[in-house]
Amino acid sequence: MKVTMLILLLCLVLAVSARGGAGGRGGGGRNSGGRSSGGRSAGGRSSGGSRGGSRSIGTSRSAPSRSISRAASKSHARAPAKPAVRNPPRVQPRPAAPKPSFRAPPKLQPKPAPPRPVSPSKPISKPKAPSPPKVVPKPQPKPAPPKPVTPPKPIAKPVPPKAPSPPKVVPKPQPKPASPKPVTPSKPIAKPSPPKAAPKPQPKPAPPKPVTPPKPITKPAPAKAPSPPKAPTPPKVVPKPQPKPSVAKAAVKTPVKPVVAPVNVQKAVPVKVETKPPTGSVTVNQNFASNGVKKISVDANKNVFQSKDGKHSVDVNAQATKIQSKAQGNPKTDVTVGGQYSYNTDKTSITASANGKPRQGVDLNVDASHTVLQSKNGRHSVDVTASAAKHVGGEQGTTKTDLTMGGQYKYNNDKTQVTASANTKPGQGVDLKLGAEHNVWQSANQRHSIVGNAEVSKHMGGPLGNEKAQVDFGGKYKYEGDKTQFTAGVNGSPGKGATASVEARHNLYQSVDKRTRVDVSGGVSQQIGGPSGNSRPDANIGISLTHDLP
């Protein structure tokens, strides 16, 4: 384009110069060919010529100008190519003004603007189309609230995965439109976007997809319909408790029932007694014998300390006894005070005790036993035992320590128990014993039972030497009820007769908390046969009051 413009300018300059030459030739002038020669003579030296001409001619100043133009035109005619080429470039920078006139049309070059639309890279990006989806997600959150409206939460869980799928597609185009956002001209392009409303119906089908799950949600809604039948079920339960209050009214008549609450507390107390045998109790016993002897006694014991694991315990005890008879009159009361330490585990048991009477010294005893062997079923066991006894102080003074050591075998079955033991004292021989007990019969309610027993004992060695074996056997009947216990039995040995006895015990009163009891007991015994023959029956009866300490 520039080349063409330059060619046009050259043509114009040549045309103008041609017209000027023609005019010069038409006017004529003698001094046109005077001193003017070369390019600079026209502008510089020609002026000198003009001055000379003016002086010679003496005319007006216009005459020399014509001579100059003519001289110039003639010079151009003589060398048209060189001066024409040099003069026009000097003229070219001045007519630069026409260039902007030609530059104005480039402003009108919006015709090449179509190449700008040719830059369809922007429409090719097609993020402009997703720009409407930006409007689409806004309605999407609106359907979001119906999702919480759906009560069945488990059904709502499958719905969210469907909803998140479209938003995932939306963010992907979003980064692409980020570049067009700075391009403001894209906004006018957005105006044609409305005709592209066609994509808008596309998001519209997207919401119907979540709409489809609510339809199954409506199906569980009828499932809620069975809930009303559940409502009628409670009224069925209501009439049932209605007759119950009538029974409660009858129960109200017995005021003792409210005391049942402490009964539970009391039940916990005997449990403590089982875990802690010496929990503490006070017993007052009055006994009357057939021979006129009266005996009254008071026994008290209290657990002072017990470890958390129940292995260690310390108990204190006290006993006061008074016996009255016609022969002895009214003797003094016999008082005994003592204490005991116990250590018990599954296999080991140790007991140390000290008991004394005022001005009669103290009796010290230590007993220990340990299970050496026990079968898996717990029926067979072998134990070793040891004991030591000593009296200190009092009228007897201090005695030697009496040591006893031995061993024992036990067999325990549901109905049979067998015990074999051997005990010895240093320098006094060995005592052997074998005993057995068997439950011959037992009632279904386990209250009635008949038991037979037998025992064989013999002393060997020591100062007494070997003694004959002594055999004892017998049997007894037992009845154990809630308040009554009864026992009748016979025991004897060959050549020594037998002893028959009957004992009974009955609970007269028991407090609601079962801490206080009043019992009555009695018994009769008689020696039958043997060297001394039959003896008179020996009967006794007594009453006791027992209170368990907390």
pLDDT in tens, 141-168: 555 555 555 555 555 455 555 554 555 5
Task: Give me the number of domains the chain comprises.
Answer: 2
Comparing CA positions, the residue from 515, 490, 514, 513 lying closest to residue 503 is 490
Is 50 exceeded by the pLDDT of residue 350? yes
Residue 139 — left, alpha, or beta (φ > 0 → left; ψ -120 to 50 → alpha)?
alpha
Are 152 and 226 contained in the same domain?
yes
* Inside any domain, residue 514: no
Query: Can you give the residue range of the structural domain that contains 28?
Result: 2-107
Contact (Cβ atoms closer than 8 angstroms) between residue 449 and residue 441: yes
- What is the band of 236 on the pLDDT scale with cuts at 50, 70, 90? low
- CA–chain centroid gap for 14, Å, is 105
Same domain for 144 and 102? no
200 & 142 share domain: yes
In DSSP terms, 216 is beta-bridged to: none
How many whole angstroms separate alpha carbon 131 and alpha carbon 135? 7
Q: What is the pLDDT of residue 259?
A: 47
Q: What is the mean pLDDT of residues 165-191?
A: 49
Statement to judge: residues 85 and 141 lie in one domain? no
For residues 222 and 184, state if they share a domain. Answer: yes
Q: Does residue 223 fall inside a structural domain?
A: yes
How much is the average pLDDT of 445-460? 96
Average pLDDT (51-74) is 39
Q: Residue 88: pLDDT band by 50, 70, 90 thresholds? A: low
Query: Using H for helix, E for strand and C for coil, what is the string for 371-411?
Result: EEEECCCCCEEEEEEEEEEEEECCCCCCCCCEEEEEEEEEE
Q: Tell me, what DSSP letter sits at residue 181?
A: T
Judge whether 26 lies within some domain.
yes
Q: What does the pLDDT average to over 514-518?
A: 93
The pLDDT assigned to 2 comes to: 75
Coil vs helix vs strand at 459: strand
Which range (255-264, 296-305, 513-522) has the least confidence?
255-264
Query: Do residues 220 and 143 both lie within one domain?
Result: yes
In a domain, 35, yes or no: yes
DSSP, collapsed to helix, strand or coil, labels residue 447 as: coil
Residues 76 and 17 in one domain: yes
Name the one residue in this structure whose structure tokens are 């030609």. Answer: 102
Both tokens of 50, joined, read 């003009």
Confidence grade of residue 475 (pLDDT, cut at 50, 70, 90): very high
Cα distances from 538 to residues 321, 409, 486, in angstroms, run 21, 36, 17
Report how far residue 20's alpha carbon sits from residue 423's, in angstroms, rounded to the nearest whole number.
168
In a domain, residue 256? The reply is no
- Answer yes or no: do 86 and 145 share one domain: no
What is the predicted pLDDT for the residue at 225?
Answer: 46
In a domain, 159, yes or no: yes
Query: Measured in whole angstroms, how far is the alpha carbon of residue 208 from the centre of its chain?
Result: 42
Contacts of 521 (CB under 8 A, 6+ apart): 503, 504, 505, 506, 541, 542, 543, 544
Do residue 21 and residue 98 come from a single domain?
A: yes
- Return the pLDDT at 388: 97
pLDDT over 80 (residue 354)? yes
Alpha helices of 141-226 — where are they, by DSSP H? 146-149, 153-156, 159-162, 165-169, 175-178, 186-190, 208-211, 214-218, 220-224
Q: What pLDDT, on a 0 to 100 scale, did the predictor assign at position 90?
A: 57
User: How far is CA 372 from each of CA 192, 345, 409, rounded to the nearest angstrom?
Assistant: 104, 13, 10
Q: Are residues 11 and 103 in the same domain?
A: yes
- Give the mean pLDDT of the chain: 72
Tens of pLDDT, residue by residue over 259-272, are 444 444 444 444 44
Torsion of CA 229, 234, 236, 240, to 10 degrees: 170
* 3-state class (DSSP) for residue 542: strand
Tokens at residue 116, please? 């700008």
Looking at the domain assignment, is residue 21 inside a domain?
A: yes
Of 209, 230, 251, which one is at a domain's C-terminal end? 230
- Comparing 287-296, 322-331, 503-512, which segment has the lowest mean pLDDT? 322-331
93-107, 266-280, 419-433 — most confident range: 419-433
pTM: 0.50
Looking from the CA of 439 toward its CB, the CA atoms found within 13 Å total 14
Q: Which residues contact 49 (CB under 8 A, 6 or more apart)?
A: 31, 34, 35, 36, 64, 67
pLDDT at 7 over 70: yes
Q: What percent of the chain has pLDDT over 70?
A: 53
- Position 268 in a domain: no
Count the Cβ atoms, other than its own, within 10 Å of residue 413: 11
Task: Kindly tell me if the per-residue pLDDT of 130 is higher than 60.
Answer: no
Q: What is the pLDDT of residue 51?
A: 41
Q: In whole angstroms, how large is the CA radius of gyration of the chain? A: 69
Tokens of 488: 């009748």
Say whether both 19 and 103 belong to one domain: yes
